[in-house]
Amino acid sequence: MTSSDKDRSGKEPSLEFQWRFLGPRFWSTWILLGLLWLVMFLPRHWVMALGAWIGDQFRKRNEKRRRIAEINIALCFPELDPQQQQQLCIDHFRCYGRGLVDMGLSLWGSENRLRKLVSLEGFESHRKLVQTQNVLVVTWHLTTLEISANVLTLAGDSVSMMKPLSSPLLTWQIARGRRHLHAGDPILVTRSTGLRPLLRGLRDGRQCILLPDEDLGDQEAGYVFVPFFGVPRVNLTTPGRLAKSAGAAVVTCATRLNPDTGKYVFTISPPLENIDGNDAEADAIAISQAMQQLIEQAPEQYMWTFRWFRTRPDGSDSPYDPVARK
């Protein structure tokens, strides 16, 4: 377990409410949460504008994340000229800001509100699939991740993993947000528990929601290199292994935001073919290709501020410059 998997006291992270959250140390966080709740009632074009402004400020002030995004975009979109690459970077941070200010919708929005703002593609077929067999849902880190998490709980009981944040109050609130609709019976665990709760839930008939796109820099995690926008990157072999152990179908999903309307489109695929855990590289290629097709519909909404390419196939240094490695 990494240090990020523990709270500041060094204890195991908790996803439950703690009475200490009412103390003065957390008052500023409560104010922030109150503002997010209020934003939920603003006109959608105001929310989009506010989010874009916050994203612009983050891009200008956080040199490290801006450099990571610029490097990733240059690697993945060499066909774009420097001006187009810079515009994609700007658009990404604006989408990131919109995702932040729209957290109120994920944390407290009702099912009725969610259905009004989110168009569903493939959802009914997926819901029926969950009722008849074990299903592993693969999604990646997008600026719209929390909306995807909310929609998936409407399809039936689920089990998923969450990385604790540095603030235990925010960790609890986001965990609560992912479970607040109560359409199913979602189980949420932390990374420190390992894969066993996911496999157990999957075998029990829960849809298992997995985000296997991070480069953990840990060879013991089990990974292969497959192309992503033409660049080799780490892909964890976890999805194929879980699917094989539970006899599960594997689907991919993503949500994209239309900033002009303030509405979302949630898309989930039919089961991918030939994901059986017997060929780790073939499984990873199939999943990566399916996710790339979804990301291509709104490339600015993938989390380009993550160091996706820090582990290289030939063991060479990561492409991130000293600023991005701080």
What dihedral angle (degrees, nearest 10) is formed by the CA atoms of 175, 177, 178, 184?
A: 120
DSSP per residue, 102-139: THHHHHH--HHHHHHHEEEESHHHHHHHHHHS-EEEE-
Residue 306 falls inside a structural domain: no
Helix (H) or strand (E) holding 82: helix 82-101
Residue 321 falls inside a structural domain: no
Angle between helices 44-61 and 63-76 (to 10 degrees): 100
pLDDT of res. 11: 56
Residue 12, pLDDT > 70, answer no
Determine the structural domain holding residue 117 and report its residue range: 3-301
User: Mean pLDDT over residues 190-198, rounded?
Assistant: 86
Residue 109 falls inside a structural domain: yes
Per residue in 101-120, pLDDT (tens digit) is: 999 999 999 999 999 999 99
In the chain the first and final C-alpha atoms are separated, in Å, by: 21
Residue 220 falls inside a structural domain: yes
pLDDT of res. 300: 98
| Residue of higher predicted confidence among 183 and 110 | 110
Residue 92 falls inside a structural domain: yes
Residue 309 falls inside a structural domain: no
Instruction: Read off the pLDDT band of 192 (50, 70, 90).
Output: confident
Q: How many CB atoms lie within 10 A of CB 59?
A: 21
**Among 214, 279, 294, residue whose Cα is nearest residue 243:** 279
Look at the chain and report how many structural domains it folds into. 1
- Window from 2-16, 126-140, 211-225 with minimum mean pLDDT: 2-16
Alpha carbon distance 206, 201 (integer Å): 5
Angle between helices 238-246 and 196-203 (to 10 degrees): 40
pLDDT of res. 7: 47
Per residue in 245-280, pLDDT (tens digit) is: 999 999 999 999 999 999 999 999 999 988 888 899
Instruction: Read off the pLDDT band of 21 (50, 70, 90).
Output: very high
Residue 192 falls inside a structural domain: yes
